[in-house]
Amino acid sequence: MYTVFYLKKYSEEGIDITLFEKKNYLLYTPVLHEMATGTVNARHVVIPIREIINPRQIHIRCEEVDRVDLNRKAFETRSGIFTFDYLVLSQGSESNFYSIPGIRENCIPFKGIEDAIRLRNNLVSILEKGAIEEDSRKRKKLLTIIVAGGGCTGVEVVTEIAQFINLILDRDYPEIRRSEVRILLIEAMDKILPSFPRYLSNVATERLKRMGIEILLDSPIQWANEDSIGLKDGTEIPIGILVWAGGVKARDLSLKPEVKRDPSGRIMVNDHLEILGHPGIFAIGDGSHVSHNGDSLPPTASVAVQEARYVAKSLLLQIQEREIPPFQFHYRGDMASLGFMFGVTEVYGWHFKGFIAWILWKLFKLAMLPRYKTRFQIIADWLITLAFRRDTSKLT
Ligand SMILES: Cc1cc2nc3c(=O)[nH]c(=O)nc-3n(C[C@H](O)[C@H](O)[C@H](O)COP(=O)(O)OP(=O)(O)OC[C@H]3O[C@@H](n4cnc5c(N)ncnc54)[C@H](O)[C@@H]3O)c2cc1C
């Protein structure tokens, strides 16, 4: 979407641009955790593509690309075969379950709007069932909520869940005591928010503990079934809900001939973001592996948008047969919201915590939204949840 946006912004007339997208909306993932717990309305995290991109200027085709033939410069969809001069692949990512037995079948991944709706319904379900369950063992299992993965997504989800539980339990479910609800964050590494500076990671750890979240570090999950999960040290923990935020891998997209990929299936590209050996065919976003200071860039929107902008400029330079500088990533910072009025933020090397960081998070997330209408809708949602009770109705 951003590549198309920048192409249109920088280009002269005469370039024929088509966007192939199997969904007809953009999902605004940074507020998905707030949707799952009823702060933000489900309709407000999706934006119709045709409202962001002018369909009179860009061809929009709501269909899935099945196979790409890199040598013939053609790809296939249900409606036929399309040829191109230049191609930008940005198929995104999906949850990576690392072949851990039982995880895929027994978890709620946290990637799409359907996952957030499922999480919300499951949260409400375990509370409804917990409120009437008299067997203490079953009740304990039901009321154990586990989030696996202590990166930004996992930490934001677990704090939102804890806040939701802390706010609604007393008023809406007086049958359940807070001490009966166990909320755990399980991380394979030795700290949460590993991409943040150690100081902010420690601030986040303290904050989560204060919210009543148990944190288990150095605890990779080894297996899962419908009743429990097993950790590396042999501990078995019963599960009411298991949310998987343990990492992503590239979304599958069939390429002919097959190209070099990293262990997460991401397409390897050169420093112009072109697929190795295929000039004029770019791969960007979560589905591509871009080296930076000896490591690969993380799967975040800020990386994807910088890559999109570069590719749009670079493509136009290629058409004009001008020299193209290599892609350079500019790290601007990282931010995470940790429940009501608290966050941790790193902006251009400056560290913030607490209320200021939370406000910066809110302002930045609003600024990144590509539509004014959605900005107002989300601000209204935030204000409404400040003034009124959280909604505990199921969505289906
Ligand atoms: C819960 C959550 C919270 C996040 N929060 C943040 C945040 O706060 N800040 C941040 O920087 N990043 C965040 N991210 C990461 C961010 O969403 C991704 O890095 C970003 O969306 C990647 O962009 P992309 O274009 O590579 O992939 P996507 O945004 O996934 O876009 C890929 C698109 O391609 C379409 N597609 C896939 N295959 C095909 C096909 N074969 N044919 C046609 N269309 C296809 C898909 O429908 C999809 O719309 C978050 C992610 C999640 C899951």
pTM score: 0.93
DSSP secondary structure letters along 360-395: HHHHHHHHH-S-HHHHHHHHHHHHHHHHSPPP----
Same domain, 257 and 340: no
* CATH, residue 73: 3.50.50.60
Of 229, 33, 37, which Cα lies nearest the Cα of 146? Answer: 229
Amino acid in the structure at residue 204: A
Same domain, 140 and 183: yes
Residue 13 pLDDT class (50, 70, 90 cuts): confident
Residue position matching structure tokens 């871009």 = 290
Asked, for residue 189, whether it belongs to a domain, the answer is: yes
Same domain, 165 and 222: yes
Same domain, 352 and 317: no
181-228 residue pLDDT tens = 999 999 999 999 999 999 999 999 999 999 999 999 999 999 999 999
Mean pLDDT of 271-279: 95
**Higher per-residue confidence, 305 vs 371:** 305
Distance CA 15, CA 3 (A): 14
Q: How far is the CA of 92 from the centre of ligand 1 (A)?
A: 5
- 3 state SS of 315: helix
Q: How far is the CA of 375 from the centre of ligand 1 (A)?
A: 19
**pLDDT at residue 354, as a whole number:** 97
Estimate to the nearest angstrom the gap between the alpha carbon of 79 and the chain centroid. Answer: 30
Q: How far is the CA of 155 from the centre of ligand 1 (A)?
A: 18
Strands 333-337 and 343-347: antiparallel
Q: Is the pLDDT of residue 22 over 80?
A: yes
237-250 residue pLDDT tens = 999 999 999 999 99
Q: How far is the CA of 9 from the centre of ligand 1 (A)?
A: 22
Closest protein CA for atom 29 of ligand 1: 92
Which of 288, 309, 331 is at the close of a domain?
Answer: 331
Asked, for residue 394, whether it belongs to a domain, the answer is: no
Asked, for residue 40, whether it belongs to a domain, the answer is: no
> Using an 8 Å Cβ cutoff, are 391 and 38 in contact?
yes
Asked, for residue 299, whether it belongs to a domain, the answer is: yes
Distance CA 147, CA 207 (A): 16
In which element (H, E) is residue 41 found?
Answer: none
299-333 residue pLDDT tens = 999 999 999 999 999 999 988 889 999 999 999 99
Residue 294 pLDDT class (50, 70, 90 cuts): confident
Instruction: State the virtual CA torsion across 254, 257, 261, 266 in degrees, nearest 10.
Output: -30
Same domain, 78 and 169: no
Q: How far is the CA of 321 from the centre of ligand 1 (A)?
A: 31
Distance CA 197, CA 201 (A): 6
Q: How far is the CA of 91 from the centre of ligand 1 (A)?
A: 8
Q: How far is the CA of 387 from the centre of ligand 1 (A)?
A: 32
Which of 331, 354, 369 is at the close of a domain?
Answer: 331
Choose one of 20, 29, 305, 337 to mutate for the ligand 1 pocket test, by most ligand atoms within 8 angstroms of C-beta: 29
Residues in contact with ligand 1 (CB, 6 Å cut-off): 20-23, 29-30, 32, 64-65, 90-92, 110-111, 153, 251, 253, 285-287, 299-302, 304
Same domain, 156 and 264: no
Asked, for residue 51, whether it belongs to a domain, the answer is: no
Choose one of 22, 34, 368 to mutate for the ligand 1 pocket test, by most ligand atoms within 8 angstroms of C-beta: 22
Residue 117 pLDDT class (50, 70, 90 cuts): very high
Q: How far is the CA of 112 from the centre of ligand 1 (A)?
A: 9
Asked, for residue 30, whether it belongs to a domain, the answer is: no
Partnered with residue 323 across adjacent β-strands are: none
Closest protein CA for atom 27 of ligand 1: 92
Same domain, 257 and 110: no
Task: Please state the domain count of the chain.
Answer: 2
Asked, for residue 56, whether it belongs to a domain, the answer is: no
Same domain, 305 and 232: no
Q: Ligand 1, closest atom to CA 365?
A: 8
Q: Ligand 1, closest atom to CA 157?
A: 1
In which element (H, E) is residue 130 found?
Answer: helix 113-132
Q: Is the pLDDT of residue 293 over 90?
A: no
Query: What spatial distance separates the first Cα and last Cα of the chain, rounded to whole Å?
Result: 30
* CATH, residue 109: 3.50.50.100
Q: Supply the range of the domain harboring residue 318.
A: 2-22+63-91+250-331
Q: Ligand 1, closest atom to CA 33?
A: 1
Which of 316, 331, 346 is at the close of a domain?
Answer: 331
- 3 state SS of 347: strand
Asked, for residue 186, whether it belongs to a domain, the answer is: yes
Q: At what angle do helices 152-172 and 198-210 cross, to 10 degrees?
A: 20
DSSP secondary structure letters along 146-185: EEE--SHHHHHHHHHHHHHHHHHHHHH-TTS-GGG-EEEE
Q: How far is the CA of 299 from the centre of ligand 1 (A)?
A: 9
Closest protein CA for atom 15 of ligand 1: 300
Most distant CA atoms of the chain, gap in Å: 74
Q: How far is the CA of 1 from the centre of ligand 1 (A)?
A: 11
Q: How far is the CA of 286 from the centre of ligand 1 (A)?
A: 7
Same domain, 155 and 230: yes
Cβ neighbors of 42 (< 8 A, separation 6 or more) are 35, 113, 116, 117, 395
Q: Positive or negative CA dihedral for 198, 200, 203, 205?
A: negative
Same domain, 268 and 319: yes
Q: Is the pLDDT of residue 388 over 90?
A: no
Same domain, 349 and 216: yes
Distance CA 67, CA 274 (A): 18
Q: Is the pLDDT of residue 395 over 80?
A: no
Same domain, 69 and 202: no
Choose one of 67, 297, 300 to mutate for the ligand 1 pocket test, by most ligand atoms within 8 angstroms of C-beta: 300
Q: Ligand 1, closest atom to CA 302?
A: 11
